[in-house]
Amino acid sequence: MLLLATYCLIVLTVSDASASHDNRNLRNVPVSYEGAQVWRTTITNDAQMSLIRKLHDDRDISLWRLTPDHGDFLIHATRKVDVNRRLSSQPYNMNHTVLVLDVQHRLDSLATPTPTWTGKTLKLGHRLDFTFYPELDVINEYLSAISTQYKSLSEIQTIGYSVENRTIQMAVVSNKNPKNAAILIVAGVHAREWIGVTSALYILDQLLNDFDNHPVHVKNIDWYIIPVVNPDGYEYSHKKDRLWKKNRRKFPNCCGVDLNRNFGKYWSMNDATSKKQCRENYAGTKEFSEPESSAVQSVIETVKISAFVDIHAFGQELNYPWAATAERTPHGKVLHDVAKDMSKAILSKNGSTYKFGSGYRKINPTYGSAVDFMYSEGVHHAYAIETRDTGQYGFLLPPEQIVDTGKELVAAMCCVAKALEPQPQFRSKACHDWF
């Protein structure tokens, strides 16, 4: 291992400033995004779409979000002139707007150090309060504290260990009713999507808080919540590279597997770039090659899960299978109805608009995703949610939006719980109120 790390270090000394962009970063110094920007381009034809894809494939840009009509991407300082020239050349004629003028400046302005202990937090046993993005140790404090405070209602299970041997923890909340259906919620599959992690924690917090007064359809569910599927990547994104996405598996030239490409359904199908180790969507050497995705798989081997929710960022979308193909699933109508209910519940909660539909996008299919795997294993309610926002902040959502985003996810989860009732009534008002 030491030899491998040394080799990676040598590679890095000769690589350019966009080490993180190349997914090679193994250095023990924080990655700087000085001079990097986030651009948006409007896409109106196939040639323009192909150019954006090519720039991404060639690692001139790092795509944050691609929709049929626009692309948002990060561009390093050294690439700006060349990429601008190519965008504006014939036949593309593409303009861009700047969404983030200086990524490093934005990172610095958003930095919120972990609060020191106070009398209040010492009494609580944790420092989580949804005003900042918690590091892993704060999340672990919280999980440990709730397992004591809500002993009769919750427990914390270790479901596996990461590549770097960190525990992967799952909170279970249950009133022990033997007839309960089970919902599995996962977040933090992608390291930089911090808002997904806080949203999962917020759901957990709201469940435990005043549990007895929740509606029956919320109480009569066994809730399984894994807030951080990818603890190594999450820690790395806090300590070294805010925009790190994958896990921290070390390979000779690059690091990391995209865990949402590593599940055992449609794994690496028709996807040449996902076979390359240095790509952000590297799918791994085989399906479930990674301990983090295997840990999630292990849950459904021991528990009968009725609904699965994978929380990601960003884009404000409620997606259901398939993510890899345009083929319709047999449960498409029900999935559509529940996603529509979720969208309405979120709208009525905060006025936010979440689009919904099958996850498959002709422009951007996802192979080897968790949501497709769960559906293929008989979890017929399977949803991949992209939380806030639609691009203004992207992955760098200010912590002031943690609570409102959490509320949106709680409203959505209430609808999923409602859908698991023996005779669910879709578009029911009752799905909107939880707290």
Summarize as ranges the residues that interact with Zn ion (CB under 5 A): 190, 193, 312
Nearer to Zn ion, 22 or 317 (CB): 317
**Smallest separation (angstroms) from Zn ion to the CB of 187:** 9
> Is there a cis peptide before residue 389, judged by omega within 30 degrees of 0?
yes
State phi, psi for 64 to the nearest 5 degrees: -95, -40
Contact criterion met (CB below 8 Å) for 267 and 275: no
Q: Which residues contact 298 (CB under 8 A, 6 or more apart)?
A: 159, 160
**Smallest separation (angstroms) from Zn ion to the CB of 193:** 5
**Smallest separation (angstroms) from Zn ion to the CB of 300:** 20
Nearer to Zn ion, 163 or 370 (CB): 370
Residue 371 parent element (H or E): helix 370-376
Nearer to Zn ion, 8 or 187 (CB): 187
Nearer to Zn ion, 141 or 193 (CB): 193
Nearer to Zn ion, 162 or 281 (CB): 281
- Nearest Cα to Cα of residue 254 among 290, 293, 280, 274: 280
**Smallest separation (angstroms) from Zn ion to the CB of 230:** 10
Nearer to Zn ion, 193 or 271 (CB): 193
Nearer to Zn ion, 160 or 196 (CB): 196
**Smallest separation (angstroms) from Zn ion to the CB of 192:** 8
* String of DSSP letters for 2-42: HHHHHHHHHHHHTS-S-TTTTT----SSPPP-TT-EEEEEE
Nearer to Zn ion, 126 or 265 (CB): 265
Nearer to Zn ion, 341 or 408 (CB): 408
Contact criterion met (CB below 8 Å) for 264 and 135: no
Rounded Cα–Cα distance for residues 107 and 76 (Å)? 15
Nearer to Zn ion, 48 or 199 (CB): 199
Burial status of residue 309 (CB atoms within 10 A of its CB: 0-12, 13-18, 19 or more): buried
Beta strand 181-187 with 307-313 is parallel
**Smallest separation (angstroms) from Zn ion to the CB of 190:** 3
**Smallest separation (angstroms) from Zn ion to the CB of 386:** 8
**Smallest separation (angstroms) from Zn ion to the CB of 376:** 20
Contact criterion met (CB below 8 Å) for 421 and 348: no
Q: Write the single-letter amino acid at 325.
A: T
**Smallest separation (angstroms) from Zn ion to the CB of 102:** 24
- Residue 434's CB is within 10 A of a number of other CB atoms, namely 23
Q: Which residues contact 222 (CB under 8 A, 6 or more apart)?
A: 172, 173, 174, 180, 181, 182, 183, 303
Query: Tokens in use for 190?
Result: 């992608």
Outline where DSSP puts E strands in 93-163: 96-100, 154-161
**Smallest separation (angstroms) from Zn ion to the CB of 54:** 23
